[in-house]
Amino acid sequence: MNKFTLPVRFAFALTTSLIAYFLILSLFGLHTNPFFSLFNGVITGFAIFEAIRYRRLETGEDYNYTTGFSAGLITGFIASILFTIFMSIYATELEPTFLDELVTEYANHYDVGIATFSFIVLLMGLATTVVLTLAFMQLFKNKLKK
């Protein structure tokens, strides 16, 4: 199996989960509360952990730190990019007042455009991916052969 197949599958599952969670929050009007975005880290963490674990099972004896680390990064990076695209479309096409409602939670004097919003969503996703991948690789570190 191609080394990118597994992380890409997990990335699509992660993206779908993040979008579903966001849309469920929007049904209840909670999508503009930044507190609920903390659960995105839990969803992302589960997907990255499973991607690394499955990569370890898939490769068996050939598993090393680089193999697991790349599986986690690829999963998170692809999902972050896809989720950023969704959020950009959502904020511009599906609910144009979303950015104004979101920024009102912070303060009324900020002028946040779609580019700034998209950059922040992408940056948060990439940072979460790197931190969680590094953390989860510590769990698998002592299981690696020396």
Question: pLDDT per residue over 106-124, tens digit each?
Answer: 666 667 789 988 999 999 9
Q: Is the pLDDT of residue 127 over 90?
A: yes
pTM, entire model: 0.89
| Lowest pLDDT segment from 3-17, 53-67, 105-119 | 105-119
Neighbours of 51 (CB within 10 A): 29
**Torsional class of 112: left (φ above 0), alpha (ψ -120 to 50), beta (otherwise):** beta
pLDDT of residue 80: 97
Cα 141 from Cα 146, distance rounded (Å): 10
- Mean pLDDT for 39-63 is 92
With cut-offs at 50, 70 and 90, classify the pLDDT of residue 1: low
DSSP per residue, 48-107: HHHHHHHHHHHHGGG--HHHHHHHHHHHHHHHHHHHHHHHHHIIIII-TTHHHHHHHTT-
